[in-house]
Structure 1
């Protein structure tokens, strides 16, 4: 089953969730990749201030996913999704008019926190819709999550392309355009999103957090799985350094993201379908092993002589392709595994904590990697390959103890 056939198999409300995810990513990547240039060149802020702002944006997003997940359990998908759109619109409008550090910080925090509301709501909605579609024999939940990855990736590619087309206009105009994208998502969901989404309601926001903290199997799973987000984040941290090693510049970085998008669109759904048939106990370790191989490829390229017939960009291209193949194997199956690990209760809180732990892994791991990362250094690539491989071994051991939830075919 391809991404197109999967799209045709899902009903209108689920398509609306997927469209919302696409538009949300488009609007986000329309602005955020160009934020650093605006802060440094447009507002004349120092480099450490730019780093602070960008770090705060990541923290306000990843660090608060657990809040959005718990709110989704309490109030449902639709209210939290709409609130996320409103907060994102407010954030971009604040960035558009903010000319001082307090205004920029306020817009940045609002922009990040909006995703912490929106994304767990969409993920929870897809999880419950996927369960119903799987029971009806339409598509599996893993295939639906794979399609979500596809539309998200296309949105993350469309956003920078549209942003680059707007480079000649003031940054404030770009922010208002992005706010308009989110206004479309807001209106569409306010008009057509079902008011009753089938997500069980929690009695309180804190009930979901208590359920997660008592779920030791899930916490172990989330800690091991968090290294996949750390690995993927190297597209932004380690890959540019590899390009400098190979070519002397980062000019090919945009092309690498195009390669990533093409690989995701072509293989995500078919690979996820195969992984779903194999079950999490096989697909998760395989996905992590393939991801570790991506880092091993670059590690080998830094220490071995390159034959004349091999292009300089070959290790970087290989890294991107193999990294996304590993992600295609692991991510949909892992996201499909969260509801059974949660006992189909407080699913939003579990998705939120899963994302927040990934954010912690990125924050801590990227600091370690960044300390040893330089063109030609083999240590960071070996370190990342080892961390991902160890996580894969841990997930293999854990999945053998999960019973039917990890081995469904």
Structure 2
């Protein structure tokens, strides 16, 4: 859909995502430096704090989704904002490792409460496009607004660091406080609900402005999504997307060092990723809408495999070529970002179809949308944790035993190709009559029929 055609509550949620990312990226990228330079903490302590923050967010996404189903989107989103404020306030008062660790965990937990509820609620507005229109999935706009916040956040943080890290934290608290007040005012409270409400009210009612109005019925088993084997396979294969994109933060910096390139190049690569996302996300989404969900997923994973194949084919051992090694890294990042742009909105927009298909099958153990979206994110976090651990060991072993320099990239190529082949087979087979689907789901069903 066009942004101006989004319901008011949807625009509010997209704006909240932008501000949420702005407040996050104004602080967290500078946390490690502040802990080391301002408070004298060692590398092990810094690694523990950053790891705890990531794990508390990614690991708790499923729990956050379950709470969103039970509490309703509005309450979960507001609670997530308040928890993140408490995390920043704890970091502001921290002077030793325990308080930094507590602040990091609270910061991650706030995101785990906020994001699944936001995504689940936005999915209600992800309606099919009428014939002849160019309506885009709401998750395309989520990717764009989130990226804007991710670009502006570090700029704000850099400007505030002149007054010290405490100034950046104070600004972050102010940003989250402002978005909390805005959401409390703009998101309507859910209507009173009785326990006898139909089990599929939250997911099948026609909706246009739905923010915070339809929490899922608590009688549904909270972990029913874990019994949806097709969806579990979809999440496992889809998690390769997050693992691949995370290499911008892990393997790409390592590769720059191996190629003898300075870390100054890393900022340029992140800028390239942001520019590509902001300029090409809409055209990529339009192409995805025309070709359908299955082909888009396959093409996206093929692009990821191609990106890692370029990295593998041009990899060098430490001390190898320098200046001529820049172009392959630029190509790797560009192709990786293109694949990520194709995959992320498509994966998110397909989640409700699994709920509808499971409802239609007559199985009663179906979780609400929040749990399903939470499981997608949690699987991605597990993939990043396990994948980066294995990849790090491969990098060390490759240098130690002088294996082929592209060895660390080979598993990523294979995983991406496996997902490209297998994930279209995991898509729901059918949708019950009268159920609204996202544009990508609608197109996939037309192609399948």
Q: TM-score, normalised by structure 2?
A: 0.83
Cα distance, 1:208 vs structure 2: 4.8
State the partner residue of 1:394: 422
Separation (CA, whole Å) in 2 of partners of 1:280 and 1:130: 14
Cα distance, 1:403 vs structure 2: 4.7
Separation (CA, whole Å) in 2 of partners of 1:288 and 1:83: 35
* Deviations 1:2-21 (CA, angstroms, capped at 9, x unpaired): xxxx2222232111111100
Preserved contact between residue 70 and residue 216 of structure 2 (Cα < 8 Å): yes
Q: How does 1:1-400 map to 2 (within 5 A)?
A: 6-131=2-127, 134=129, 140=135, 143-196=137-190, 197=210, 200-204=214-218, 207-302=220-315, 311-343=324-356, 346-373=368-395, 377-399=405-427
Separation (CA, whole Å) in 2 of partners of 1:367 and 1:348: 29
* Deviations 1:134-173 (CA, angstroms, capped at 9, x unpaired): 5799875x62101111111111111111111122222122
Separation (CA, whole Å) in 1 of partners of 2:77 and 2:113: 7
Preserved contact between residue 30 and residue 159 of structure 1 (Cα < 8 Å): yes
Separation (CA, whole Å) in 2 of partners of 1:293 and 1:178: 38
Preserved contact between residue 143 and residue 269 of structure 1 (Cα < 8 Å): no
Larger Rg: 2
State the partner residue of 2:444: 407
Cα distance, 1:25 vs structure 2: 0.6
Cα distance, 1:249 vs structure 2: 1.5
Comparing both structures, which one devotes a greater share of its residues to helix? 1
Large movers: runs of 4+ above 6 Å: 135-139
Cα distance, 1:312 vs structure 2: 3.5
Cα distance, 1:398 vs structure 2: 2.5
Preserved contact between residue 9 and residue 139 of structure 1 (Cα < 8 Å): no
Structure 1 residues 280 and 61, CA, compared in 2 at 3 Å: closer, same or farther? same
Preserved contact between residue 77 and residue 125 of structure 1 (Cα < 8 Å): yes
Cα distance, 1:44 vs structure 2: 1.1
State the partner residue of 2:364: none
More off after superposition, 290-299 vs 236-245: 236-245
Q: Over aligned residue pairs, what C-alpha RMSD do you find?
A: 2.4
Structure 1 residues 138 and 97, CA, compared in 2 at 3 Å: closer, same or farther? farther
3-state SS, counterpart of residue 223 of structure 2? helix
Cα distance, 1:402 vs structure 2: 2.9
Structure 1 residues 25 and 247, CA, compared in 2 at 3 Å: closer, same or farther? same
Separation (CA, whole Å) in 2 of partners of 1:382 and 1:174: 40
Separation (CA, whole Å) in 1 of partners of 2:43 and 2:97: 13
Cα distance, 1:280 vs structure 2: 1.7
More off after superposition, 271-280 vs 372-381: 372-381
3-state SS, counterpart of residue 315 of structure 2? helix
State the partner residue of 2:201: none
Separation (CA, whole Å) in 1 of partners of 2:130 and 2:8: 18
Count matched residues.
397
Cα distance, 1:213 vs structure 2: 1.7
* Deviations 1:187-213 (CA, angstroms, capped at 9, x unpaired): 111111222436543343x83533202
Separation (CA, whole Å) in 1 of partners of 2:184 and 2:260: 49
Separation (CA, whole Å) in 2 of partners of 1:394 and 1:209: 28
Q: TM-score, normalised by structure 1?
A: 0.91
Separation (CA, whole Å) in 2 of partners of 1:166 and 1:139: 41
Separation (CA, whole Å) in 2 of partners of 1:218 and 1:226: 12
Tell me, which stretches of 5 or more residues in structure 2 are unaligned? 191-209, 360-366, 432-440
